[in-house]
Amino acid sequence: MIYDLGGGHRSTANALQKIIEKRNLPWEIHIVDAFKEIIGMTAPQDVYNNLILKKNWAKIISEPLLVPLFKLQIRLWHFAWLARFKKYWQQHQPDIVVSLLPYINRLLYESLQAVSPNIPFVTLPIDFADCPPNFWIESQKQFLICPTERMVEQAQKLGYQKEQIFPISGMVINPQIYEPITVNCQVERQRLGLEPNLPTALIMFGGYGSNAMIEIAQCLEQSSLKIQLIFICGRNEKLANILRHSQSRLPRYVENFTNEISYYMYLSDFFIGKPGPGSLSEAVAMKLPVITECNALTLFQERASTQWLVNHEFGIVVDHFRDIKTAVAELIQPENLARYRANVAAYKNRAVFEVADILESIIKNSFSSVTLSPNVDICNQLSSTV
């Protein structure tokens, strides 16, 4: 169960589907946009993707206005939406339900319990921490897959028992990230019109891009830094056209939406982008130090990402991307870049494979008529993997 607010929910689902299919597991997988396909509304996606993500000024209305209104809407429509989800479960008869979305996990769980109480319900957060109340973690007898120790602690405080919690080593990311790349970096840079040995920044703000990329480009152009830039603009063609046709002192390459993120990361030396947990995790997995920002306008669910970055010394967090010149100058100092590179290289994230193991174990136990109880510790069966 997902919804298309940003790209993280669907990309996580797609990553898991790829691994499951690669293992030839006998599963039929349905990736369902809960709001569009069951509730029958797309307004939250439209507002979030077209305003909050693309236009940074709109972030200021998210936390004080949109989030409370959205929570109120969920409460007011609880029983109507509950009926729709009950009907959906009755029609489709799933063997397991995995939620990759926040806010409505109580609704999903209660509707599933009403129709098929023995079917396991799993929540897989795609953020580094919960943002209580009623965001990712609800007080209910379900399974919870936790990408960080902080989220494990949050679950325990809400009364989750050991057998309900599955810790994993990080965020689920595209398994393509783990595949070896054998091309020559210098040759490929030249093929894109870049210099072969100049420090290279990859600038990316998710699947819908952001006008912040224009501000970053302008700030770096005004500096005396000797670097070059790769921009990934996603589905934001207007942004890509602006960056392509702007006068530039620095060598640059501009790409629209692409499925070859790992290729462009391989050609880069460091990453600049919003503090989205997915993009930061992919950058770190590709051994790229990170520069991101955190301030009052940062989306509340992304602030934990910056704390994770600082705690592990994977890069630099600035108050605003206006400070990008100073941050880049500091990062590319040889001793600093070597230290950050060593830190990201030491971090091993195998979450996408671990989650597939966890779901397989839950399903096997479900078919063996093992239900959630304090006497059953599924985690013990995964100790060699997780």
43 pLDDT band (50/70/90 cuts)?
low
Give tens-digit pLDDT for 312-363.
999 999 999 999 999 999 999 999 999 999 999 999 999 999 999 999 999 9
Q: What is the 3-state secondary structure (H, E, C) of the chain?
A: CECCCCCHHHHHHHHHHHHHHHCCCCCCCCCCEHHHHHHCCCHHHHHHHHHHHCCHHHHHHHHHHHHHHHHHHHHHCHHHHHHHHHHHHHHHCCCCEEECCCCCHHHHHHHHHHHCCCCCEEECCCCCCCCCCCCCCCCCCCEEEECCHHHHHHHHHCCCCHHHEEECCCCCCCHHHHCCCCCCHHHHHHHCCCCCCCCEEEEECCCCCCCHHHHHHHHHHCCCCCCEEEEECCCCHHHHHHHHHCCCCCCEEEECCCCCHHHHHHCCCEEEECCCHHHHHHHHHCCCCEEEECCCCCCHHHHHHHHHHHHCCCEEEECCHHHHHHHHHHHCCHHHHHHHHHHHHHCCCCHHHHHHHHHHHHHHHHHCCCCCCCCCCHHHHHCCCC
Domains, the chain: 8-173+350-382 (no CATH), 175-346 (3.40.50.2000)
70 pLDDT band (50/70/90 cuts)?
confident
Mean pLDDT, residues 219-247 taken together:
95
What is the reported pTM? 0.88
Mean pLDDT, residues 105-134 taken together:
96
Mean pLDDT, residues 190-203 taken together:
98
Mean pLDDT, residues 190-194 taken together:
97
